[in-house]
Chains A and B, each alone.
Chain A
Amino acid sequence: MSPLSFPAVSFELVFFLIFAAGAVATGVAMVLQSNPVRSALFLVLNLFCVAVLYLLLNAWFLATVQVLVYAGAIMVLFLFVIMLLNLGAPDRTVDRLKPQQPIAVLAGLVLALIIGGIVLSPLRTPVVTENEGIGTVESVGKNLYDPAQPWLFPFEATSILLLIAVIGSVVLAKRRLD
């Protein structure tokens, strides 16, 4: 099937279109907001839309983790820091990087063209194999902790990474920058 031919209308397609549009709209709103608190709340909406897309892709466990970890923990951390640093009010200092903005948008569009070209080029692997049930907690756990698969070592490395992040952020928050 060619990339842009319209598939038959189905329940799944309608949901995809609604939540893909929601994700893009909230993403744009997040970038365009000048108030960081509203920006953060738009990002929460965006993460929820993406979680629904994960459900459509049969990644049930990851959809749950997305809501719990991203929309829950990470965004609470963001909002906490925004309010701690009292950044809720819009910024009124002089923006010295104003002339950079049109160039930045242009650079984004060029990147969009490049990625679009890659996405629309034909895929060499056939994409018709469906493997139901790879997104369940059982399947994710079995694959993640299976020594025969390559995911166990990265998982352990992730635990060290998180430990380093915890220690690093405590040290950073305790010490004054000179």
Chain B
Amino acid sequence: MEPMQPVQQAAAGVARTAVIAVPAVPLSWYLILSAVLFVIGVTGVLIKRNPIIIFMSIELMLNAVNVSFIAFARYLGDVGGQMFAIFVMAVAAAEVAVGLGILISIFRSRENINVDEINLMQG
């Protein structure tokens, strides 16, 4: 691709050049990577009993989804994917803050936070 002239860039606001090109890395490779990371995260949630590692596995899944969002943003030339990735990151931060707050709260009353021992909701 030819570098854009400054004048052209100013006119277009955002550098917008649509070209037809064969990508160096196929889109489906990014999607496969995303699927693999997501499945690792799901398996981590299912086999671990330490809630902190479960949270980290959830982070891994959110990241896997972000990889597909950003890959689609690049290969379809649409900013929507990147916007979604920003929102996913914000939601992940909020989720971690609340989740770790819950963990600390449980730890104060229980001294043991393994998920198979927690049955507060059973009454």
Contacts and interface: CB of A to CB of B under 8 A. Distances in A.
Contacts of A95: 49, 116
A84 to B, nearest CB: 7
Given A108-B39, A119-B35, A77 B25 contact: no
A105 B47 contact: yes
B85 to A, nearest CB: 6
Contacts of B63: 46-47, 50, 70
B86 A1 contact: no
B40 A27 contact: yes
B116 A131 contact: no
Interface string B103-114: 111111100111
Contacts of A119: 28, 31-32, 35
Given A56-B25, A165-B97, A62 B32 contact: no
A59 B82 contact: yes
User: For chain B, what secondary structure do more than half of its interface residues adopt (helix, strand, loop), or is it mixed?
Assistant: helix
B98 A169 contact: yes
Interface residues of B, number: 87
Interface string A122-145: 010101111111111011101110
A151 B79 CA distance: 10
Interface residues of A, number: 101
Given A16-B29, A128-B22, A81 B100 contact: yes
A101 B47 CA distance: 5
B6 interface: no
Contacts of B38: 111, 115
A56 B29 CA distance: 13
Interface of B: 1, 13-33, 35-44, 46-50, 52-53, 55-57, 59-60, 63, 66-67, 70-71, 73-79, 82-83, 85-87, 89-98, 100-109, 112-114, 116-117, 120
26 contacts: A1-B22, A7-B23, A10-B24, A12-B25, A23-B37, A27-B41, A36-B52, A50-B67, A57-B74, A62-B66, A85-B52, A97-B49, A111-B38, A125-B76, A129-B76, A130-B18, A131-B17, A131-B78, A143-B79, A155-B87, A162-B94, A165-B94, A172-B102, A172-B105, A173-B101, A176-B105
